[in-house]
Amino acid sequence: MIAYRSQVQAILSKVGTIAVTLLGLLTLTFIIGRVMPNDPVRAIVGEEATREVYENVYRQLGLDRPMWEQFYMYLHDVVTLDLGKSVRTGMPVLEDILHVMPATIELALFAIIISATLGVTLGMVAAVNKDRWPDHLIRVFSLMGHSMPIFWTGMIALIIFYAKLGWVGGSGRMSQFYIGLEPNTTGFLLLDSAMAGEWDVFKSALQHIILPASLLGYSSAAFITRMTRSFMLDQINQEYITTARVKGLSQCKTIWFHAFINIRVQLITIVALAFGTLLEGSILIETVFAWPGFGSYLVGNLMIGDMNSLMTCVLIVGLIFTALNLISDILYRVFDPRTR
């Protein structure tokens, strides 16, 4: 009974924390929308609109009402998923984001697979070979990935691997030849083309996603490598590792079946945060590669001061990190019985 009550309290505490976080996030986005220097009314009516038209739209948006009432209206709109229309596209903002988000998710998934695989492997190799040449080489590799601006590496990579060598596709999600011919069931181009058996489209999409995903993955792998190395060094110095070696267990089994198991919970947090960063931090790489995703949508609306779109994008980024933290907590309980 006590254990059941404790679990209920833990669940209620987690729900309360999420509710407070979401309320704080909504408050923050509301404040951002009010302190930004852009005039949302002028963005809608244009510079040539008369004073009468301006005031009518001003009242329709509720900007003449008290601030607390505007905040209540904003909360109501968010709960009912009425996030307004985009000035740039004339479409509901939510529809726009649902249209562009699959491209960013597809790119981020490829990147996180690359970064997690590369980062964890290199981090463990560096820890096992501490202060030897593999460790120094991997640390330089990580430092370069963390230090080089991704927009610069993107342009250099396009010049070398696309313009000079022709190994990969150029800008966009696929070749111009296939635009309008691609299947669009889920919005995930690789999945849709494979399901439809359009292997030419699949090949083109794969050629176009490899380079931006690899650059994003390399940038994120630098962080994962350093953290994995730090976690692994801490475990290698523990007494149970020494005991395992004294008993004759091979180094490979000691590292993978003992030390790695004890750092996987920490790695869950690192990889989850890295994935969230890839989703919201792909703005520069999407701009360089003309990738029609969430980042490009955000930049395009930022340039014209489309406040409905900007506030929704900020809200979605916050929701992504909140959801990833929640998923991390759930995975903690799966992989570490001590947290149950």
Q: Report pLDDT for 151.
A: 81
- Greatest Cα pair distance, the chain, in angstroms, is 86
Q: Report pLDDT for 100.
A: 87
Domain annotation covers residue 100: yes
Distance CA(218)–CA(146), nearest Å, equals 9
Q: Name which of 107-121, 208-222, 245-259 the model is least confident about.
A: 245-259
Q: Which residue has better confidence, 88 or 224?
A: 224
Cα–Cα nearest to 221, from 103, 122, 86: 122
pLDDT band at 7, cuts 50/70/90? low
Domain annotation covers residue 22: no
Domain housing 154: 94-306
Domain annotation covers residue 173: yes
Distance CA(236)–CA(133), nearest Å, equals 19
Q: Is the pTM of this model over 0.75?
A: yes
Cα–Cα nearest to 273, from 218, 327, 209: 327
**Phi, psi for 115 (deg, rounded to 5):** -70, -40
Three-class SS state of 167: coil
Residue 224: give its domain's CATH number: 1.10.3720.10
How many domains does the chain contain in total? Answer: 1
pLDDT digits (tens, 9 = 90+) for 113-170: 998 899 888 988 888 888 888 888 988 888 887 778 888 888 888 888 888 888 888 8
165-172: which pairs have CB atoms within 8 A and are 24 or more residues apart?
Answer: 168/207, 168/208, 168/210, 168/211, 169/204, 169/207, 169/208, 169/210, 169/211, 170/208, 171/208, 171/289, 171/290, 171/291, 172/208, 172/289, 172/290, 172/291, 172/292
Q: Which residue has better confidence, 283 or 214?
A: 214
